[in-house]
Amino acid sequence: MARLSRKRTLGVLISGRGSNLKALLDACAEPDFPARIAVVLSNRAGAPGLEHAARVGVPTQVIDHRTYPDRDGFDAALDAALCGADVELVCLAGFMRLLTPGFCATWAGRMINIHPSLLPAFKGLNAQAQALAAGVRIAGCTVHYVRAETDGGPIVLQAAAPVLPADDEAALSARILALEHRLYPQAVRLIAEGRVKIDGGRCIIEGLPPPLGLA
């Protein structure tokens, strides 16, 4: 059979709302986007984001971490589902489980995450609240390759958002989230087009686009 497309195959991991998944689904619906989503995995059965995938016919699978005796078993199930769908690039999109070093090593250079801060600042949970508490004037989001260290790994792209005097966590999170929805598809496109090389702890990008947000 003739090869119909050279699109890269994505697997998206979610835990909840799935608005970044929705942004990736929308990007993949564009004919010239160089990737397609082969499978969406969620560790929570009730994750609202699963609906976004189901609505456009993208296969979903719930892999409930609570049904595995340990992290290795859970990660092995994730790995099997990703390999079963011939996934080339894993996109963590609000996936709120820590992954084992073994899983991170298996997918090193083939797994990215989006985080709502300008890394390496404000790793971990509630990054936007951490930014407000620190009094920074500029916040933002980062797409980075995943390594075993939480929210570590070579940075692909970042986008900056101002922190305004009246901001509470919800207002700042919404401003950053709007940027996330633009940044994640942009990063996936660059990777899928083969324009991102990992060089030690950094990424080198061929034809780096101008930054989103404050520029």
Q: Which residues bind ligand GAR (CB under 6 A)?
A: 14, 16-20, 49, 93-94, 114-116, 127, 151, 177, 180
- Spatial distance between the Cα atoms of 94 and 57, rounded to a whole number of angstroms: 21
Of the pair 139, 177, the CB lying nearest ligand GAR is at: 177
Min dist CB 171 to ligand GAR, Å, is 14
Min dist CB 126 to ligand GAR, Å, is 8
Of the pair 10, 177, the CB lying nearest ligand GAR is at: 177
Q: What are phi and psi of 93, to 5 degrees?
A: -135, 85
The residue type at 205: I
Alpha-carbon Rg for the chain, nearest whole angstrom, is 17
Position with the least CB separation from ligand GAR: 94
Nearby residues of 3 by Cβ (< 8 Å), 6 or more positions away: none
**From 65, 115, 144, 181, the catalytic residue:** 115
Among residues 141, 129, 214, the alpha carbon closest in space to that of 182 is found at 141
Of the pair 87, 142, the CB lying nearest ligand GAR is at: 142
Min dist CB 123 to ligand GAR, Å, is 8
115 is catalytic: yes
Element (H, E) at 204: strand 202-205
Active site residue ranges: 115
